[in-house]
């Protein structure tokens, strides 16, 4: 591979640390796409004769067929996917294969391959995130009026609806999709033709190559073209944030399915048993989604550390961009699929949710708001009155709605029987009609809006 410069082959340990074919072979489809675009451009520019172009194109398609059929032999001594493809191409078409590498380097070749792979993967992740949004919006519409406790500090705060809770994650996923699309837009420039680092003296047409591969334009600086891995870092950053969102919901599923909460049920399809405790039903799918977020975040950290000290342009350190990026984005894909499956399997338990919604004096804010709205108290005064009434109810071991009217009037004489209308959890959620609030009509409208928007995307 190295021509006449080296008199002997690498040491065994050198071959072991240097070879990337074990993982970069998954770039084979992108590598062949890039080579086909490159050789076509070389022919159009008059750099290669038409006869060689035809041979190389036919040979590359043969190699592609062998890879797809699983009959292609990946050899470690050939180091990487680029040399593996080129070596097999030479076996098929002879010396003409050597002309394929005219006006390019493995540096711009791998940068192009990686951009193509990341772009393809971001498109797939965007579709999966949309599917999870669909599942959540459908469940939210069904449970637009199902009351549950809303929490702050994992303490009962105010009643919300189950549908409203799910739509919070639909919003998060939409931001994730925006980040996927932003990352895709910024990476959509083609490095091919930047060669090793300085460009080439051949009269190539980089705009033609970029267009044939679906890029918006060629990269503008040859040094940056081969030295940049921002596109991978940005994709990993978007993936890490998405993984955090999935992990938060996975944590809620773990908590909600416990016997102590009992808010929701998961079927046998997304739970496992115990080897020793026959009564157990463990939410292992959710636990694994929660755990795998660390793996995705770790890949981002790892590549940031690889890149932080590299001078321009290319260094072999950058070979470390692949395994973490491949693993993280494919792990996120698995997590999105698992979460969509769990959401479609999830069965809320409305009666348990309703009881929990009323616990912990969750309608205290409704009482304070009533004092402000109906009696004209300043909110801080209403807050103090409500706090004292909560304390009284707590000392008696009852809920606010069970406090006698006379006890309430001892704190604020103007309180009337009408106050009890706001102390029920259904009345509480129904009153939250501000834009983005948890009122069931709001939730239905939001869920229906999301379902229409998602349908329009695929129309």
Catalytic machinery residues: 153, 274
3-state class (DSSP) for residue 7:
coil
Residues 6+ apart with CB under 8 A from 124: 333
d(CA 377, CA 380): 8
Helix (H) or strand (E) holding 337: helix 321-345
d(CA 110, CA 83): 11
Q: Is-contact 122 180, C-beta < 8 A?
A: yes
Give the closest residue to 325 by CA, choosing from 294, 344, 353, 300.
300
Is residue 176 exposed (0-12), middle (13-18) or buried (19+ Cβ within 10 Å)? buried
Handedness of CA 91, 101, 24, 318 (dihedral sign): positive
Alpha helices in 397-439 (DSSP H): 405-411, 425-430
Q: Is-contact 15 76, C-beta < 8 A?
A: yes
Q: Residue 297: left if φ>0, alpha if ψ -120 to 50, beta else—which one? A: alpha
d(CA 381, CA 318): 62
C-alpha distances out from residue 455 to 99, 103, 134, 168, 458, Å: 48, 46, 9, 19, 5
d(CA 213, CA 306): 28
User: Helix 162-187 and helix 440-458: axis angle, to 10°?
Assistant: 30
Q: Is-contact 309 276, C-beta < 8 A?
A: no
3-state class (DSSP) for residue 263:
coil
Percentages (nearest 5) of helix, strand, coil residues in the chain: 70, 5, 25
d(CA 451, CA 336): 18
């Amino acid at each position: 591979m190295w021509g006449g410069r080296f008199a002997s082959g690498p040491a065994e340990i050198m071959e072991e640390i240097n070879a990337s074919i074990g993982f970069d072979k998954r770039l084979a489809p992108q590598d062949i796409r890039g080579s086909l675009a490159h050789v076509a451009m070389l022919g159009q520019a008059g750099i290669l004769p038409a006869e060689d172009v035809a041979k190389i194109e036919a040979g590359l398609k043969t190699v592609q067929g062998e890879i797809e059929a699983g009959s292609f032999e990946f050899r470690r001594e050939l180091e990487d996917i680029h040399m593996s493809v080129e070596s097999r191409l030479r076996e098929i078409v002879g010396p003409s294969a050597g002309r394929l590498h005219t006006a390019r380097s493995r540096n711009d070749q791998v940068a192009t391959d990686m951009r193509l792979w990341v772009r393809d993967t971001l498109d797939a992740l965007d579709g999966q995130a949309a599917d999870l949004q669909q599942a959540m919006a459908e469940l939210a519409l069904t449970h637009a009026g199902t009351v549950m406790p809303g929490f702050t500090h994992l303490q009962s705060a105010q009643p919300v609806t189950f549908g409203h809770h799910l739509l919070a994650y639909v919003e998060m996923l939409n931001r994730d999709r925006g980040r996927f699309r932003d990352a895709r837009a910024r990476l959509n420039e083609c490095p091919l033709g930047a060669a090793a680092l300085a460009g080439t003296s051949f009269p190539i047409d980089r705009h033609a190559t970029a267009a044939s591969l679906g890029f918006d334009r060629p990269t503008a600086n040859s040094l940056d073209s081969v030295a940049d891995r921002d596109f991978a870092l940005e994709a990993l950053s978007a993936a890490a944030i998405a993984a955090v969102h999935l992990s938060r919901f996975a944590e809620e599923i773990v908590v909600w399915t416990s016997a102590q909460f009992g808010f929701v049920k998961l079927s046998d399809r997304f739970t496992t048993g115990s080897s020793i405790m026959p009564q157990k039903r463990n939410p292992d799918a959710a636990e694994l989604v929660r755990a795998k977020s660390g793996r995705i975040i770790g890949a981002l950290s790892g590549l940031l550390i690889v890149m932080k000290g590299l001078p321009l342009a290319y260094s072999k350190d950058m070979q470390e961009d692949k395994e973490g990026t491949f693993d993280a984005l494919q792990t996120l894909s698995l997590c999105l699929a698992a979460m969509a499956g769990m959401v479609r399997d999830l069965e809320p338990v409305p009666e348990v949710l309703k009881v929990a919604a009323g616990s912990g004096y969750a309608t205290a804010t409704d009482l304070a708001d009533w004092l402000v709205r109906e009696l004209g108290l300043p909110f801080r005064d209403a807050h103090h009155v409500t706090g004292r009434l909560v304390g009284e109810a707590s000392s008696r071991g009852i809920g606010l709605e069970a406090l006698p009217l006379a006890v309430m009037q001892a704190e604020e004489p103007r309180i009337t029987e009408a106050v009890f209308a706001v102390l029920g959890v259904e009345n509480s959620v129904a009153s939250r009609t501000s834009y983005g609030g948890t009122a069931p009509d709001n939730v239905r409208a939001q869920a229906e809006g999301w379902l229409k928007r998602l349908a329009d995307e695929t129309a």
